[in-house]
Amino acid sequence: MTEDPFAHLHDELYADVFSTGRVGAADMVAMGGRRRISLADAWHVTPDLYDEGLRQQWYRLGPDDPARWAVPRDYDESGAEEEIVPSCWNMLKPEWKYFEGSMWYARAFAWPQALHGERLVLRVGAANYEARVFLNGCFVAAHRGGSTSFFADLTPALRAGANHLMIQVENRRRADRVPMLHTDWFNYGGLYREVDLLVLPTVFIRGATAALVSGGSFSHVRFALSLSAPVDGVAEVEIPALDLRHAVPVVAGRGEAMVEARPALWSPAAPRHYDIVFRFGADHVRERVGFREIRADGERLLLNGHALFLRGVCVHEDDAASGKCTDEADLQRRFAHARELGANFLRLAHYPHHERVAEIADEQGVLLWSEIPVYWAIEFANPETYADAENQLLEMIARDANRASVIAWGIGNENADTDPRYRFMVDLAEAARRADPTRLVAAACLINREKFEIADRLAGHLDVIGLNEYFGWYEGDFAGLERLLTNSRPGKPVVISEVGADALAGHRGGVEELFTEDCQAEIYRRQIDVVGRAPYVQGFCPWLLYDFRTERRQTRFQRGWNRKGLIAEDKTTKKLAFDVLAGYYRALRDREA
């Protein structure tokens, strides 16, 4: 039968073949101490607004020079732009700034010989939003979710010698995605975190965690391991500083043990860590773990049995020059500004941030709320949307399970209290607790407008109620905040998870004049005065540290930026409210002392 060269023009089911082979939380690989072969260099990149790459199967084409083509093509890898990965394509070329569609990334790598008793696994730190991986013309794996890492086993398609790797990344906003098409941050696209190769044994450690057993005695540690195959055997866990070495029986690829131990506890005042080695067969993983207990007790938060007030600030992953990409200097600057504020807590909005954030927080003693982008009005009745959200949640938990700094898993932000949303969110809360019973489950909630109180039905399934409120800004009457706090009897700790006001850096005026630094600072003063009277409020986390890009915001003061930052988008220029918040946190620290 003669092949029809125009069949792809009429094929609207072109993507169906890639709906299988999707990787997710079950395919994660424990990364502690592993050697990574970095692919962070130049890749050939080609924009693809119409998905011609899938329709025409560009992944089957090599990087041949057009002089060698037998028939014309619509894809020319050898003539494509070369760009460094990781990067956001929106920041690379002016004409790509608002591009939403597919981008094809291609590069060659050499593998000297066939693998014997080993596997070659690709790790992508993050690709927004859907990614499809091809090696040597073969479809390897697909992944959904724009902020969590994923792993694809390249071994079946690997060749000794030259290999041709392609990754299609697609960032269209859609109603069924997490987040959906309507958000309040910029929709960056690309391979914007590190891309690495891992050489692993045939049977390797997928997950390896160590945590203090809850209960207040601080005398036992639980270890858990999962493997890449359902094999039996014995794993070993060692903590040299505690003179602890313990055998962990493994059955069908899983092992767990509880061991008596009294480690020094991790806290912001004393961020103590222990080096831990997990071994099974030919594989081993090294982790640095801090041991602590976080729990809610009535309306209080307790860290290691002591009352805790969260002095926080929200942060987005955004940079005026690099977009959603980040580096060590950018992250260290973020933590330096948090310390200058006197903060002991960061809310990582509204998606999992770079894994290095939690590592630095562990080292410096900063507490974290890490969340997934179940944001506003996503399709709560859609099972596919739930599956996507749960997978992102489980990938986030698996990646950061050993980070003592992470005390809360955030499962949603500002969702209306409907029946489909209630079922969706309750299922997420239960999934979080099954995966990790050692941390708090939180969500940023809206108020009940009929009762004018904190009365979200989801609150009964949360450990911490996040309250997003903008009295003084979107709701100008501060009497409404006093009424809300007086009416509410949550019975659980409440964290003010968002509050703030826009201010254009350098724009001064009266305290009633919108978008001035003076107005923003006054709103902070009045918020601090009112919120401090509510005994169940156990944290204050304003919105936010830096101004960030969002095309929803188009006044003369915003021009595509959310201006609620305490610091301008240059990440240097502080607004008046910065000192107001720093003074409040300084007074709180003095009282705690």
Task: Give residue 321's pLDDT.
Answer: 97
Which residues in the chain show pLDDT less than 70? Answer: 1-2
Under 8 Å between Cβ of 345 and 539: yes
Which residues are registered as beta bridge partners of 233? 250
**The residue to which tokens 């933590």 are assigned:** 335
Which residues 6+ apart lie within 8 Å of 501 measured at CB? Answer: 470, 472, 473, 519, 520, 523, 524, 564, 577
pTM: 0.97
pLDDT score at 7: 77
Q: What is residue 285's predicted lDDT score, i.e. its pLDDT?
A: 98
- Exposed, middle or buried: residue 269 (CB in 10 Å: 0-12, 13-18, 19+)? exposed
C-alpha distance from residue 431 to each of 17, 393, 401 (Å): 29, 8, 14
Number of Cα atoms under 13 Å in the Cβ half of residue 23: 21
List domains and CATH numbers for the chain: 7-200 (2.60.120.260), 205-292 (2.60.40.10), 366-592 (3.20.20.80)
The tokens for 58 are 């560009």
Query: Residue 385: its pLDDT value, please?
Result: 98
- Burial 372-382, CB ≥16 within 10 A → b, else e: bbbbbebbbeb
- Residue 367 structure tokens: 């507490």
Euclidean distance between CA atoms 199 and 326, whole angstroms: 26
